[in-house]
């Protein structure tokens, strides 16, 4: 695995994260993994709601250990004028500001782009929202699941003839975060290489999802085709599907390349299909995909999954099991790639978390600190800004900080 040989790629980049829950904090986590100093601002009292989402250990979500690693926490009331002023002091020295509130919220606190860019002309501000900072829907509340629906993903996900279903994770939020990180890196490069000023990055949840929708729109525009739900198959590309195995398991087989298809058919004892001229190319296979899927399923149904995978590997046909959390935790390839790391939380829980992605050969990212307790870095951060011990104590009394 790559080992650090020097400075991390984002070392020296200062990030202030004002976002909550998933999209904004996921972007901050990604930057932090690669060396950025990330100061997370949370509301006093309960902090980021993600702290108490899903499964908890001693009152704190284990998800928190993933989303907030490599960050410092300052509990700051942004509704209080003094809290807003402290935020301005932090932003004055920041390279990047991340927020994922509804449009207008930051402006209501006196922390909108126009004000902050005057305070810090080099500032790069990532703004993630449901519908973007402009347009007729800008003021609507929007979560990732709504973005997934508007972006076209929900409509095509599920079984034919049945109601659409959601992807099992908050993919819309995470896609928006990754688009935001791309924007931040582009803006940082422009500022450094081209002598450019700071700028804001407007990421809408639905647009991040829509950007992933492949040929959905041009197929409709050119041919009037509305892509529908197709279950585990990939529409218009054959064969690629999930097939039943012995023991109520399923195997994914993707035999949709021309030469791969021939090897697959030979491996399952269907030389007749391998040599059928109509199946030589994808277009012909798509026309008779039900026949092909039936042939593959007839071969897989009475075989154990491992036997199928061995046969597919030998035939050089892409295939794989459908992994559960248990499969992931026990898989040797995940371990060999450094994709499962073990951390100890502030409360002493030893827990496995996903490793760092992507993998850089010379300056790989790393988990350098576990997720912070609420507000634990407030005093150190405020002292660095020049506030005295007496001022910090007064802020606590006034509940400006927690």
pLDDT digits (tens, 9 = 90+) for 305-361: 999 999 999 999 999 999 999 999 999 999 999 999 999 999 999 999 999 999 999
Question: Cα Rg for the chain, rounded, in angstroms?
Answer: 25
Q: Catalogue all structural domains in the chain, each as residue range(s) with its CATH number.
A: 14-212+335-397 (3.40.50.10540), 240-323 (3.30.1540.10)
Query: 3 pLDDT exceeds 60?
Result: no
pLDDT above 90: percentage of residues in the chain: 96
Residue 262: pLDDT over 80: yes
Tell me the three state secondary structure of residue 253.
strand
Written as one string, the DSSP assignment of 295-355 is HHHHHHTTS-HHHHHHHHHHTT--EEE---HHHHHH-HHHHHTT-EEEEE-TTS-EEEEE-
Is 184 strand, coil or helix?
Answer: helix
Structure tokens at 300: 């897989």
13-39: pLDDT as tens digits: 999 999 899 999 999 999 999 999 999
Which of 47, 41, 49 is CA-nearest to residue 106? Answer: 41
SS in 3 state form for 177-230?
Answer: HHHHHHHHHHHHHHHHHCCCCCEEEEEEHHHHHHCCCCCHHHHHHHHCCCCCCC
pLDDT for residue 5 is more than 80: no
Contact 122, 92 (CB under 8 A): no
| pLDDT of 167 above 60 | yes
Confidence at residue 196, expressed as pLDDT on a 0 to 100 scale: 83
Structure confidence at residue 1 (pLDDT): 43
Residue-level pLDDT at 7: 85
**Would the pTM of this model clear 0.85, i.e. be above it?**
yes
- Alpha-carbon span 199 to 66, nearest angstrom: 29
Q: At what angle do helices 23-33 and 171-193 cross, to 10 degrees?
A: 50
Contact 316, 261 (CB under 8 A): no
For residue 390, what are its two tokens? 């007496």
Active centre residues (catalytic): 173
- pLDDT at res. 11: 96
Mean pLDDT to the nearest integer, 148-176: 96
């Amino acid at each position: 695995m790559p080992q650090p040989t020097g400075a991390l790629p984002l070392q020296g980049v200062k990030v202030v994260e004002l976002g909550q829950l998933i999209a904004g904090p996921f972007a901050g986590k990604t930057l932090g993994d690669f060396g950025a100093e990330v100061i997370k601002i949370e509301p006093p009292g309960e902090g980021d709601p993600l702290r108490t989402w899903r499964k908890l250990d001693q009152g704190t979500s284990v998800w928190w250990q993933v989303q907030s690693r490599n960050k410092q926490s300052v509990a700051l009331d942004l509704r209080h004028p003094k809290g807003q002023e402290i935020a301005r002091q932090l932003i004055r020295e920041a390279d990047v500001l991340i927020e994922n509130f509804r449009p207008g919220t930051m402006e209501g606190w006196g922390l909108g782009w126009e004000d902050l860019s005057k305070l810090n002309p080099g500032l790069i501000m990532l703004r993630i929202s449901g519908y973007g900072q402009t347009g007729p829907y800008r003021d609507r509340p929007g979560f990732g699941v709504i973005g997934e629906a508007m972006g076209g993903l929900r409509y095509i996900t599920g079984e034919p003839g049945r109601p659409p279903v959601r992807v099992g994770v908050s993919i819309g939020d995470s896609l928006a975060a990754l688009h935001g990180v791309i924007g931040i890196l582009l803006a940082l490069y422009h500022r450094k290489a081209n002598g450019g000023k700071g700028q804001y990055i407007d990421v809408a949840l639905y647009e991040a999802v829509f950007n992933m929708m492949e040929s959905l729109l041009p197929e409709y525009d050119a041919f009037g085709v509305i892509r529908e739900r197709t279950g585990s198959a990939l529409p218009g590309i054959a064969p690629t599907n999930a097939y039943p195995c012995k023991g109520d398991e399923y195997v994914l087989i993707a035999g949709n390349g021309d030469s791969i298809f021939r090897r697959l058919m030979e491996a399952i004892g269907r030389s007749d299909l391998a040599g059928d001229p109509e199946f030589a190319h994808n277009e012909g296979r798509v026309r008779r995909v039900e026949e092909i899927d039936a042939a593959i399923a007839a071969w897989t149904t009475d075989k154990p999954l491992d036997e199928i995978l061995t046969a597919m590997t030998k035939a050089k046909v892409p295939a794989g099991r459908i992994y559960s959390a248990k499969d992931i935790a026990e898989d040797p390839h995940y371990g060999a790639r450094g994709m499962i790391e073990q951390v100890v939380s502030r409360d002493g829980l030893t827990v496995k978390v996903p490793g760092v992605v992507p993998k850089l050969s010379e300056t790989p990212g790393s988990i350098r600190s576990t997720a912070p307790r609420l507000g634990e870095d407030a005093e150190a951060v405020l002292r660095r800004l020049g506030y005295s011990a007496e001022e910090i104590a007064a802020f606590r009394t006034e509940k400006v900080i927690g």
